[in-house]
Amino acid sequence: MNASLDNLLHLLWTFAQLSVLGFGGGKGIIPQMHADAVTRYHWVTSQQFTQFYTIGKLVPGPTTIFAALIGYAATPGRPLLGAAVATLAMFVPSSAIMVGFDAFWVRFGASPWRAIISQGLAPAIVGLVWSSVWTIARGIPVSVVAYAVAAVVTVLMLRSKLSAPLLIVLSGVVGVVALR
């Protein structure tokens, strides 16, 4: 009981921090989430982390909803409770900031600080996205087929109108045939 309560509190605290630090739509939090969920607490393996991230991209809504799956895996006795705690911790703190900021924003809106902060944070966020690529890539097999799929999807994402979920599903079909 105490062990599982500890676990829930770790989930709550970990995802609440990620929530508050999730600037740029949460794109930059993946490396830290991996460090916490895989390296520090061993809630999931590197491969599971990558597959959960993939499911997050595959389902509608925010990608970071895959926090629910990490919570699910982290609490084997009560997976639904773990999933709910991780999800609430992931979404409630940033939402509270968003709602609480409303009054302040009207005043802040006219000031040049709005553009300075969003423009100023952008390079760090984009650097974190590149680091996310590195993080996620650690969870796929070292295989020519997997790298080729990633490369083709990169090109198709930039140069075709195919939707993200469709590209993931097509990649899955290649995987069923060639990555078993």
Q: Which lies closer to other proteins via its Cβ, residue 11 or residue 29?
A: 29
Q: Which lies closer to other proteins via its Cβ, residue 9 or residue 162?
A: 162
User: Coil, strand or helix: which one is 28?
Assistant: coil
- C-alpha dist (Å) from residue 103 to 8, 28, 91: 33, 27, 21
DSSP class of residue 140 equals S
- Residue among 6, 13, 45, 97 that touches other proteins (CB under 8 A): 97
Position 81 contacts other proteins (CB under 8 A)? no
Q: Which lies closer to other proteins via its Cβ, residue 1 or residue 109?
A: 109
Residues 6 or more apart whose CB falls under 8 angstroms from that of 140 comprise 47, 50, 146
Considering the complex, what minimum distance in angstroms separates the CB of residue 127 from other proteins?
3
DSSP class of residue 76 equals T
d(CA 79, CA 11): 12
Q: How many residues bind other proteins (CB under 8 A)?
A: 109
Half-sphere exposure of 120 (CA within 13 A, CB side): 6
Position 21 contacts other proteins (CB under 8 A)? yes
Considering the complex, what minimum distance in angstroms separates the CB of residue 2 from other proteins?
25
Considering the complex, what minimum distance in angstroms separates the CB of residue 85 from other proteins?
12
- Residue among 3, 42, 61, 111 that touches other proteins (CB under 8 A): 61
Position 99 contacts other proteins (CB under 8 A)? yes
Contacts to other proteins from residues 104-163, by CB under 8 A: 105, 109, 112, 114-137, 139-141, 145-147, 149-154, 156-158, 163
Indicate the helix (H) or strand (E) that contains 148: helix 144-159
d(CA 130, CA 125): 9
Position 91 contacts other proteins (CB under 8 A)? yes
Position 178 contacts other proteins (CB under 8 A)? yes
H helices of 21-61, in order, are 30-34, 46-58
